[in-house]
Structure formats: structure tokens, C-alpha cells
Amino acid sequence: MADDSSIADVVMHPVRLRIIQQLGGRSLTTAQLRAALPDVTQATLYRHVATLVDAGILTVTEERKVRGAVERTLALGDRMAHVDQTELRAMSDAQLRSAFLAFLGDVSADFDRFVDGADPSLRDFVGFGRVPLYVDAPGLAAIQAGLSELLAPYLSERGDGQRRVSLATVLIPEPDAPGPVPRSQADD
């Protein structure tokens, strides 16, 4: 049963973020999670999995006996692992900074694992960039809806030779800056 803690309180821990990232779009056994996160001890992994299951972020889709122990298969649960705008607005400045740093740390660790990997052919799948956008609230909503529609077919593993990649997005509004100088003042 999901508890009432905010999603931000539950998911904004580096290990929990990594678990959620591993499960995005697929189901994994606890053994597969351990293999995917070799630097996380088994006890720590199980403790964080239990927290995510209790909060409804993860769900157990299957249980089976393996050598006398119960092996669980996990997937993202009904309570989506996403911090919504209401929760972001409710965070203090310190909580927001902490959440953002946890997010960046997770992305940075993924990038380090990629760079440390020995397969240079994977560089065809890496990219990063930054571009300013000029939007109002309805325009941003339209962009987000369009991205959701564009990405929907790629969110689940189909088993037909795709490569799993991580797409991270960050929206940071710039502080109000002075607008362009009116032509009559620019000519002075």
C-alpha cells in the first residue's frame, strides 16, 4: 500500500533515482537490479527498493522461489516516479537545490559509466546540448505534450534490437532580463 509521503521525499535519493532509472520502461528482477547497480550493496539496494514499493513508486509484478529465497520482479508502480509542479512549488529552496543536485549527480554518474565503458561505437548514441526557448505557459505545455507524444513509442522495451539510452531534460527559467532597446534609443 502506498504511503502518503511526497514523491519528491521518496525519489530524491541518489540510489532510489538510479533504481527508478533502471526500471523505466521495463521490469527487472532484484538480481538484475543488483547486476545493473554493482556499486550498491545488496542490503542498501533492498532497503531502497522496499521504500519505493511502500510508497507505490515501484510495484512487484511477480514473485518466484529461487534457491529457497523469494525473487521479486519489479516495475514502476501506479504512482509515477515524477515530481510534479505542485510538489516542486511546495519545496523549500534548499530542498529544490538538493533535488536538482541529486538529479544532476545521477546523470553525471550515468555519463561517467558511459565514458568508462570500453565500447567507442556507443558514442553514436551520446549527445548533449543547450538551447534557449522563448515560451509562455501554453507554449511550454504544447512542447511537453508534443514531446510526450513523440517519445511514447520509445518508452518500453520491444526486444527488436534497440539500444537503451537515457534522455534527461532540464528547464530553467532565466531571470527577467532587459528587453531589446527600442530603435529610437539605440540611435542616440
**84-130: per-residue pLDDT in tens?**
778 778 888 887 887 787 778 778 878 888 888 868 888 888 888 88
> Alpha helix locations (H) across the chain?
7-11, 14-23, 30-36, 42-54, 85-90, 93-116, 137-151, 183-186
Taking the alpha carbons of 111, 115, 118, 124 in that order, is the dihedral positive or negative?
Answer: positive
**137-180: per-residue pLDDT in tens?**
999 999 989 998 999 888 887 777 888 888 888 888 888 766 56
| CATH code for the part of the protein at 7-115 | 1.10.10.10
Cα separation, 85 vs 8, in Å, equals 11
pTM over 0.95: no
